[in-house]
Amino acid sequence: MKRTDETRSQRRERRITAWGLSFTWLLVIGGMQLIVALIAIIKLLADAVARSGQSVLQNQTFLRQTLMQRYLSAAGWILIISDIATVLIFLFIVKARHESFCQTVGLRRFKPLLVIALLMLGGGLSLILNSGSQLISTMLPATATSSAGVLNQAFNQLFSSVPGILSIIVLAPIAEEITFRGMVFGTLKEKLALPVALIAQAVIFGVFHGNLSQGVMAFGLGCLLAWIYLRSNSILCTMLVHFAFNGTSVLISLLTGNASASSPWLWMALLVVAVALFIGGLLWQIHLTKKDSSPILPEQERLQPSSPDVSA
């Protein structure tokens, strides 16, 4: 948002305030996940010490393998608790500022038909990114090998448990949309130029995911979600796209298994279908959220009946 009537110092203060508040909202969701994770680790260590004594803390095999496996098994519950706590904290912050939570984060109704278009958008984008990634991994196996590690193990563990699937498909989109589109983007677009605010919130969203491959995907998704939020004026719409995006990713992971061994032609065909699905959803969404350009008469002028000509 550009203001021509402000001084350079006021402009600087406005930008500093925007960035400061945005990173504060980022720290809320990131800090809550860290706190819940630390509590879970302390609980796991306390249980291990109670069963086997303090000597277990000197066992490197236990710390590197057993403890890690137990932590990954509890990761779904950790995300569920941290997501719920994040939403409650933001609710408390908004209420403490004497503001409407629905107005602040953009909880507004929208056209029912828009649900189908939004699901097509989210599912199509997820299919594009996942099939493209699997196609590259199939044609260049070295990239798939180099990307394996603790992160992949963590997501495989999440995808194989009901709490993990629930947190990824349902609760994570709710908490992340309230944080990044409702609070972060809502703050930035009031203080900065709109294109800068859109790109900035997408970068912050990508950084939040903590690794390069997910960060790039999250950046693209963040740009799309912010654009949808601007057109629909409802964060419920971005939540639906996020639901579809994460749900499709989980479904692909559950159905494909060892996807690197699949035929590249399969992923290429899926990529074509995904592009068609995404474009169809995009065009339909644009049509349904098209602004009415017809002139609107003032209320008094619309309601006032036309009087007959009585001039002599």
Interval 140-150 mean pLDDT: 52
Among the ranges given (174-183, 216-225, 285-294), the one the predictor scored with the smallest mean pLDDT: 285-294
* Averaged pLDDT of the chain: 81
Is 37 part of a structural domain of the chain? yes
- Cα separation, 181 vs 186, whole angstroms: 6
Tell me how many domains the chain contains.
1
Interval 232-238 mean pLDDT: 89
Structural domain span for residue 240: 8-289
- Cα separation, 198 vs 203, whole angstroms: 9
115 in Cβ contact with 286 (< 8 Å): no
Single pTM value for the model: 0.82
Is 261 part of a structural domain of the chain? yes
Is 294 part of a structural domain of the chain? no
Say which residues have a Cβ less than 8 Å from residue 311's Cβ, sequence separation at least 6.
Answer: none
- Cα separation, 278 vs 301, whole angstroms: 43
Is 297 part of a structural domain of the chain? no
Among the ranges given (149-158, 270-279, 294-303), the one the predictor scored with the smallest mean pLDDT: 294-303
Q: What is the pLDDT of residues 181-203, one digit of tens each?
A: 988 998 888 888 899 999 999 99
Alpha helices in 53-113 (DSSP H): 60-61, 67-73, 75-96, 101-105
Is 194 part of a structural domain of the chain? yes
Does residue 293 register a pLDDT over 90? no
Is 299 part of a structural domain of the chain? no
- At 265, the pLDDT band (50, 70, 90 cuts) reads confident
Residue 296: predicted pLDDT: 39
99 in Cβ contact with 221 (< 8 Å): no
Angle (deg, nearest 10), helices 114-139 and 235-256: 40
Is 3 part of a structural domain of the chain? no
- Cα separation, 193 vs 171, whole angstroms: 31
- At 88, the pLDDT band (50, 70, 90 cuts) reads very high
224 in Cβ contact with 240 (< 8 Å): no
Q: What percent of the chain has pLDDT over 70?
A: 83
Is 220 part of a structural domain of the chain? yes
Residue 169: how many other CB atoms lie within 10 Å: 19
Residue 176: predicted pLDDT: 93
